[in-house]
Structure 1
């Protein structure tokens, strides 16, 4: 198991495992050069010392690199690192067809036809290159998230030229999809793939495989003995024409199957057509299904042994003579078959010779990495190879015009005259500069640094662009640059122009207003008392003198109201003025009549006397508003009288009063504070 983060060949960084097989483990990885996700198939550790497995693993890469089809998983790279064989291939995000069937069954017939058509197209392309897959099964067919199908795992696929005389000594491929001829141990053909395709179609229509058993051998025997159950027995709604595609593809006799994949595709494309609604059922011949045959063993070289045939019983002389008599009329026929047999032997010998010739004409792909395209072409030509497709991409590791990789990769054994695709560097990956004006510097700087650029900032004031936004850039928008070699200078707005504030002490209000109008500031005035600054002049300012502020900013100025008057307090004082009765004034009145001259009568009258008693009071008061030299109040009293004297005095002073009665001072206080 490979650890997450490990970079295969320093390039394919492992993300996580995504699959395990009998021969290899598959990992999701990041291609650090081409910046894409790939699947890396790595030969299992316990199989790396098995030459047959290594050869089979390499054969998969060789077989698939010859194919270029949208429904076949692409091979990007092949290599070896520390005795670890690996194949880098296209990453298909999705699931395999086996799981797809389980999840979506029952699948609509039209969708079945669509999926099958894509599979057939891929197999037809492989057959066109004389490559037989030999292990077609739903587990080797991937379905991406968009529903597209791709065939993978050409691990046991072999070109026809390599299999003309050889077979492995085991049954290959999944036994559930194995053709009868493969189950017998015979050589696989293109029609063997067609049989497997028929079984896959059967499973998509029924959700199950046609044959099950307790062992692989019992299932294999059913493939060449038992007829494939009709799909309409499972679902009578399936059109007969669609069932016929399954029956014809899975005929026991290869000659009764479709002659090629293209013919099966054509038949499948009209299987849902109303014009074929009443089509009769296809009935293949039973062949030798009832005969049980032993699968022949294979010798170490892979040639089928012939000594397993049953021995003939000895015949007596009479039987021999009878046989000779019977065979005499067929001498011509016997001679004819003798020539046919001789021809077969010659073909076999030619096949063996061709196989060895092909092995002898194999060449090793040279290491052309980091060569110029011209030198790489020359190196491949010298090794009897041809340059195939040229793909160009950016690279931070390889110079412009140099080879990044070849497919097949270095060290791979391929047939002489094969094509090798090259990926050529167009130089370092460039980044296109955008228009960053009026965008926040912090956001743009973070983005550019992530891309690898060096960012320099400088400030400039602006009356129209807010502080922190970009005013200008040193590299024009649309220009493409190599990030690691590029420094970009961004001019950032510091806001409106700054002003160094003047000292406004002792300025008048008008002088301050004239100044702020001249430099583009605004001002807010306030007032306060000052014992040192004359009224109307500036006491203080905020910000202070020398401060740097932006144009349009507001300042606060405090003007003097002059010295502050001391605080005063007001109160009343109750005074009781005593009444002095001894000093009271009296007033009397007498009236008499005149005496008449008459001596005989005399009359007189006397009036009563009335007396009024009062004291005259004069009050003097001194405070903040009254003077002691001025009469505050005059009044007369006839009894003891209480008066309320109001005082308003400063905090640091005292009031006083004097009260006179009939001109004489009777009460006074020179220190009245409350």
Structure 2
């Protein structure tokens, strides 16, 4: 029996069924008792709760979705990162994946393919404009709803563009059939990687087949970087020339030659929809031969191929209400409503590289260590456990102490596990630096100061009501923080007060985490939080805002919140537990609340017919009472009504003592016979 099914999380979310499970988390269908709606809850596996990498991915997904608010992106309603359980509460989606739809229909009509593509690009435009790259765009992560609308989901390996983290360093998990060449080789990526993936999906929708297919993932990854895809019109001559150009332009090997942004690709798609006869002649602008990028190819011609072996195939777990296989009619009208589980970030069927019978299974791809700080980013990092390191000291005064200057073998080569990698590391030890307070300084002055300290500054504009344009508002890490040399630091520079007016969302009655997400989605920031100990609402419930909901304020304004501490919401419920009649011996009673042992005691029904217990909490909790290990009472504690609702009470069965065998009587010895050795005969009495 699943440990979560039948339980209630935080007295609110009733877990009903398991939708899917994978390498990182479980996804359940649950009912939100407060909002009266079905939700999907993604729960991090317990064995991974101490794994910092999986915790980072899991928490990053919640942060990524939380800043997004778009009809084509699955919503996040609530998050909980407690000590015992960590979960994300998301929108529950009815539909099938775009992958299933393509498999059922084969090649799609080009107008239908563009109908889906437009929605996907609109969702990505929204994410990219907020600094989020999905990094795992594929049809398995696109849900198609009854009305033909789509939902982009699974931001489990998403990244904020500000993060200076390479794909190889993060061991990103994606689907090799849809990843961009720079993603496959472990290079630094931006939002153009998502554009490439959209191009591959469009190719698949138009032709009914993937551009690159091979026996193993390594070969597919190399094809992503080197092979030329067959032009779509050779597979399906009905595809208009202009649409083929859009598809191939999105799939350029060189990121610089793709569409500059999702918005630009969307603009050309819309232009084509209005005039299907038009052509774009992208090749005349950038001399491409179906996406050959010299900066990538020069690194692999005539040598070992670059690829990233961290990519794994995923499979969504599908479950319909009737247990039937999902199906959908081409016109977009759903023949039967189906329910599929949200794809878990990291649900795997198998790991191609660990389980492969190919010789590549003993090889790993060497990351690019240049520019990384050896002590803090490489040494003792479990992600690089496949390598041994030999350190050669270098001396480049303009580089940070501890920075890797060169490496041998070169990045991208396939090497045996345990290979010794020689790193030339800039001399000196990592110096601890206290971040200087540059708030109020001009942008360039602040940049020069922090760079002189040995930090790696970058600039980010931010609207600010009080700081003059071009002057520093703050830094991250903040002034006074102690960091090591070479640390990246963001300088937030004022772009002046925001002229855009936005409405304060009505978050009264919402959980604090949801309120914060709604404020951020509306371009506002959370201000101060004041806790009210008198409120009878659950802990973390927003009671009011200042300014109040609906009021127009400048974008970027702070909104103060008054939040329930939950102290006034807690209630104590007394329950007189009836004891079984006709029992005279002592019984061991165990009381469980929400599956955890609450109390244990010895009771004797012959002494008293009841034993009392008190429970304090909010919402509702499950109650199980056992006698001598036997299930006796199952019930629910309702703190709101201060009552206990008994679901079942089983008659206590007194253990039947095992029968004791009566020993057979010892045989009685016959009296002795005077006849010496003569056998004794029967004794006759006269």
Bigger Rg, which one: 1
TM-score w.r.t. structure 2 length? 0.47
